Structure 1
Amino acid sequence: MKELLELLGVLALIQGGAGLLTEFTDLDWGLVHRLGFFDGYETYASVTLLVLAFALFAVAESRKSG
């Protein structure tokens, strides 16, 4: 369970960072800007993904391994 939470945290961290990079640079990478229902709210969605990633890391750290 701990490994699954860490994996989800890494994915959320990558997608949140990619979303912010897409917003502030000309890079066209990541999932957030490709989803239509985030139109106009890509920055907020990316920041939310980053916060979710750190929350998942905190929960994974509080779990026992295995």
Structure 2
Amino acid sequence: MSCALVVGGISGLFSDHLAGFRLFGFVHYLVPGGHETAGYAGLVVLGTALAVVTGRIGRAR
């Protein structure tokens, strides 16, 4: 899941700045209109944080 958020956020940033490039269409529904750049960057940060937390939990066991 965290990988999908990171890749989807990066894909959204690319589609926001390069018109016509759409790899993951689901991220369009996760980000409110008018706040695309901040929303996609937030998805990248959220996915990265989720990956770090789950990695630490996995190592602790």
Q: How many residues align?
A: 58
Matches of 1:37 and 1:17, distance apart in 2:
13
Aligned-residue identity in percent: 24
Q: Structure 1 stretches (4+) deviating beyond 3 angstroms?
A: none
TM-score normalised by L of structure 2: 0.76
CA RMSD after TM alignment? 2.1
- Specify whether residues 32 and 42 from structure 1 end up closer, same or farther in structure 2 by C-alpha distance, changes over 3 A only: farther
TM-score normalised by L of structure 1: 0.71
Matches of 1:28 and 1:20, distance apart in 2:
10
Q: How does 1:29-40 map to 2 (within 5 A)?
A: 29-30=23-24, 31-33=26-28, 35=29, 38-40=32-34
Contact 1:12 1:49 in 2 (8 A): yes
Residue 46 of structure 2 is aligned to residue 46 of structure 1: no
Residue 8 of structure 2, aligned match among 15, 19, 28? 15
Matches of 2:30 and 2:43, distance apart in 1:
17
